[in-house]
Amino acid sequence: MISEELQNLLLKYCEPEDKLLQQIDRETHLKVLMPRMLSGHYQGRVLSLLSKMNNPKRILEIGTFTGYATLCLAEGLTNDGIIYTLDINAELEDMVRGNFAKSALNDKIKYIIGDAQLSLKTLNEEIFDIVFIDADKKNNGTYYNLIFNQVRPGGIIIVDNVLWSGKVLDDAQDKDTKNISNFNDQIAADKRVEKLILPVRDGLFVIRKK
């Protein structure tokens, strides 16, 4: 949504990308369908900084893909912190576990394969400081409602792709875009939270529970 020239300027003034994240980015683009789903350097640094500012003990990520954002979020965990990351794509499991195994944060990551709505039932005793929703967009509202009571007051929920390549501005919206617009409207009307959309990459909705 921004020019390549401006993107390069933003990267110039943010923290560098470590070698493992560079490797994950490169291999995702070489080996995986739809590599644009990866968060990438700039958004990864945004997620890392939000995590470090929150100092979370428990993080939930819905939608692992190749693990790039998982590692960025995990950077802010407390010494005894855990990030649970849920994904349904078993075909990527070996690649993702291999990526995590190369990280010093591996012991803090609990990677769960399966339907996220079913996996969440196994985590119903956890209270989360951060939740990152980046999975099937039609279920953004479903995931939000399922996890809301497990987010501590002051905790944050981050939802990716809420600008949907600018399609949310279109009058004639396709089904996927309408789902995202409806979710955005749901959050805008939710008095239990403070919220704003950061125009980072494809739009990050940052939602703070009161």
Average pLDDT over residues 21-38: 96
- Tally the domains of the chain: 1
Q: How many CB atoms lie within 10 A of CB 125?
A: 6
Residues 6+ apart with CB under 8 A from 169: none
Q: What's the CATH number where 27 sits?
A: 3.40.50.150
Average pLDDT over residues 90-107: 98
Residue 30 in tokens: 């070489």
pLDDT at 140: 97
Across all residues in the chain, what is the average pLDDT?
A: 96
Condensed to tens digits (0 to 9), the pLDDT of residues 48-93 reads 999 999 999 999 999 999 999 999 999 999 999 999 999 999 999 9
Asked if pLDDT for residue 170 goes beyond 90, the answer is no
The residue segments making up the domain with residue 134 are 4-209
Structure-model confidence comparison of residues 196 and 170, the more confident one = 196
